[in-house]
Structure 1
């Protein structure tokens, strides 16, 4: 199991950041290598179920994401199913007139990705992906853009 966790300060209120990330198509806009989000279905808990394609080590990996926790303006938790398994937990906290967004991920990767890349490379890759995603969300709200 690989873990990655990081936090960013977003120059927008919690409600705006949560609303932005509550749309799965926006995840594709800010998550490097997430190529496609499709078949979005709203769940009774307010969350979503969707299919996705993620590119890793030159391969397109298809899977499903189910949002198991949907606490408006506080938290979203996603379960990854398919060849990539794990969880992604996003927490939203008011901070200095903006939002402190924390992204915590736990992943199990397909064996071939580990074999090809090696554990240290995969670990650094995951940490960079989390940081890049947080930076992309922050950029979306920089200077009142969203």
Structure 2
């Protein structure tokens, strides 16, 4: 499993950032490779379960994710239930009137589809994708 951990400080209250991020339909607005979010349903764990379409290395993947843990304004965990195997942990902390947001992602590179040689490239591309997503969120929240 590959792992990415990134943090960013956003000059907006935790509640504003959390409320925006808990809505999966907002993801395509900030996540360049997230093409579509669909079939959004409330999750028993809080948050939402949803389908998604994602582009990686020029290939289109479809999958679904479910929220497995929610602590309002502090932590959200989503796991893929089909598609690319992954777990996303979003951690929200107050920081000088703003928000320190940490994203932890563990995912399995779909090696049979892309080949072992492409794995290092995919990992680097996904690290860049996480950086861009957090920068886009910061820009969106600080308006």
Aligned counterpart, 2:16: 16
Tell me the TM-score normalized by structure 2: 0.94
Q: Unpaired segments of 5 or more residues in structure 2?
A: none
CA contact (8 A) 1:65 1:80 kept: yes
Q: How does 1:1-146 map to 2 (within 5 A)?
A: 1-115=1-115, 118-142=118-142, 145=143
* Number of residues of Structure 1 aligned to a counterpart in Structure 2: 143
Contact map agreement 2:111 2:119 (CA 8 A) in 1: no
Partners of 1:87 and 1:30 lie apart in 2 by 18
Contact 2:57 2:122 in 1 (8 A): no
The CA RMSD over aligned residues, in Å, is 1.4
The answer as to whether partners of 1:36 and 1:53 remain within 8 angstroms in 2 is yes
- Deviations along 1:32-80, whole A, 9 cap, x unmatched? 2000000000012212111000011222100001011111100011101
Relative to the length of structure 1, the TM-score reads: 0.92
- Partner of 1:4, secondary structure, is strand
* Aligned-pair CA distance for 1:82: 2.1
SS of residue paired to 1:124: helix
Q: Deviations over 1:98-144 (max 9, x none)?
A: 000001100002124541762221221121111111101100022xx
For residues 97 and 113 of structure 1, do their structure 2 counterparts lie closer, same or farther at Cα, with a shift above 3 Å needed? farther
Runs of 4+ residues over 6 Å off in structure 1: none
